[in-house]
Chains A and B, each alone.
Chain A
Amino acid sequence: MKRVLRLAPVLGLGLSLWLQPLALRAAVAEGEPVAMEVARARGGGGRAGGRSRSRGSGARTGFSSFSGGGSRRASGNRQFSGNRQVDRQFNRQTGRTDRVDVRQSGRTTRTDLRQTNRTDRVSDRNKTRRKAINTWDRNRPNWVNNNWATNRPWRYGWYGGSTWNNWGWWPGRAAAWGVGTLATFAVIDSLVDSAVSNQTSYIVVPDSDYSLYYSSVQANGDVVSFQADDGSSTLSYQADCRAGTLNGAPPQNADEAQLLNAACQVAFGQ
């Protein structure tokens, strides 16, 4: 009998340990009302994983790590081990920064020197940049000779600011290039008139490095083909004035945009 009495508390401990999880499962399996969704079981004792407690239910969501500053749980373990470590890190970092500054300073000086030399050479090249070749005496279509704007042998008059403002690439790229507007028909008209009276076959496209051989302009529908000089050679281009493309693609820089516009003004502007 004494032995049984001694054994009873021990057996009781084992039995209670066995019964506790069963009771927990039963509570869950019966399904609590929605309002009681957070399990009571969390009230006592720590978590199996030993995780720190958050403000929510404590369940992982995965999403919280993408809230900009990491989840509360993730940052819990990161702490400095002491001031000495911070001091050592600071001293090492300061030494590094000094050395990097010295190296960077030397580099900057060398880069400046190289850049100065380059700029000088580019300036020299620009002074010797060739001009477009005047081909007035060669194949010139009749419409160019007299009152060119009204003698263009194709439908014109539809092209203008409202057209290029509708090009899909215009707002973004124009802003990126710092271009507020393209040359108006009045400007191009004046340049061509002046060139005709001077018997010159090209105009220098405003705000660009290109010269446009306006007499080479030929329209077909909304597409215009023409020749232009880019400062080193004469090239043939095709521009779709409705779509705003030069050789099939949107202009890659402000110079190309000005050339595209000038050719379209010559062909379709009014």
Chain B
Amino acid sequence: MNRPVLLLLGSALGWVALAWSPVRAETEVIYSLDTTCTLGSGQPQPCQVEAVEVDNTTEYRHRLGARTISYRILDAPYVRIEGRKGDGDPWSSVRNAWISFPTNELCFNDRAFCVVNPTFLADVKADARGSAFEQRDTVGLAFNPDGRVDVACFDDGCRRLLEAIGR
């Protein structure tokens, strides 16, 4: 067997091994975090957060015991946030997303799910342009059924928004 054939065989073996590997090439773990998650009005419980880059989205996987609740952020063609209750479930747009800087909390769908994720909040500020998030306690996004942002609110604006819609 001559050298080119051997090289071809070897690289082919390498690619096959790569394809079989448990982590696919287009995903990358950005960070992981031991923290607490809250479901509805329940008590905070330990959970592990994994922020994973999947294609052109960032997926936040929250492992609570045997259960994994995930949210993913898509920023093209416009900002969307989708969630799913389990690994096999379909993704659906969240109705709203809130962050509370004093408590380092990120909540979805009227606090149906909250997670303490200081890294997420630090990213929000780090990625921001301008000073819109400086000295803010609360920032909220409300999405229409198509998943597009209808309202972005800050602090007292969020309180007035909730009043206006009667919540």
B51 at the interface (CB under 8 A from A): yes
A72 CA to B124 CA in the complex, in Å? 11
A70 & B6 in contact (Cβ 8 Å cutoff): no
A25 at the interface (CB under 8 A from B): yes
Chain B nearest CB: distance from A3 CB in Å? 7
A1 CA to B89 CA in the complex, in Å? 53
Number of cross-chain contacts by CB at 8 Å: 184
B29 & A24 in contact (Cβ 8 Å cutoff): yes
Identify 10 new A-B residue pairs, CB closer than 8 A, beyond the known A59-B73, A62-B141: A7-B6, A13-B11, A17-B14, A17-B17, A41-B29, A56-B127, A58-B53, A59-B120, A67-B133, A69-B128
A48 & B53 in contact (Cβ 8 Å cutoff): yes
- Given A10-B11, A22-B21, CB of A66 within 8 Å of CB of B149: yes
Hey, which bits of chain B sit against chain A, CB under 8 A? 1, 3, 6-7, 9-11, 13-18, 20-23, 25-35, 48, 50-51, 53, 55-58, 60, 73-75, 79-81, 97, 99, 119-120, 122-133, 139, 141, 149, 152
Q: Which of A31, A42, A71 contacts B128 (CB 8 A)?
A: A71
A14 CA to B125 CA in the complex, in Å? 41
> Which residues of chain B are within 8 angstroms of A32 by Cβ–Cβ distance?
32, 34
> Which residues of chain A are within 8 angstroms of B75 by Cβ–Cβ distance?
60, 62, 65, 71, 73-74
Counting chain B CB atoms within 10 Å of each CB, which of A17, A37, A51, A63 scores highest? A63
List A residues 68-91 near B (Cβ within 8 Å): 68-75
> Which residues of chain A are within 8 angstroms of B27 by Cβ–Cβ distance?
48
> Which residues of chain B are within 8 angstroms of A71 by Cβ–Cβ distance?
75, 127-129
B34 & A33 in contact (Cβ 8 Å cutoff): yes
B30 & A59 in contact (Cβ 8 Å cutoff): yes
By size class, the interface of chain A is 35 or more
Nearest opposing residue in chain A for B19, CB measure: A18
A38 at the interface (CB under 8 A from B): yes
> Which residues of chain A are within 8 angstroms of B123 by Cβ–Cβ distance?
54, 56-59, 61, 64
A51 CA to B53 CA in the complex, in Å? 10
- Given A65-B75, A68-B132, A74-B75, CB of A21 within 8 Å of CB of B21: yes
> Which residues of chain B are within 8 angstroms of A64 by Cβ–Cβ distance?
123-124, 127-129
Nearest opposing residue in chain A for B80, CB measure: A62
Can you list the 10 inter-chain pairs with the closest CB atoms, starting with the nearest? A10-B10, A14-B14, A56-B126, A69-B129, A67-B128, A56-B123, A64-B127, A18-B17, A60-B58, A21-B23
A48 & B13 in contact (Cβ 8 Å cutoff): no
Could you name 11 residue pairs across A and B whose Cβ atoms are closer than 8 Å? A13-B11, A14-B11, A14-B13, A14-B17, A21-B22, A28-B50, A31-B48, A58-B53, A58-B123, A59-B123, A72-B129
A172 at the interface (CB under 8 A from B): no
> Which residues of chain B are within 8 angstroms of A58 by Cβ–Cβ distance?
30, 53, 123
A7 & B30 in contact (Cβ 8 Å cutoff): no
Chain A nearest CB: distance from B42 CB in Å? 22
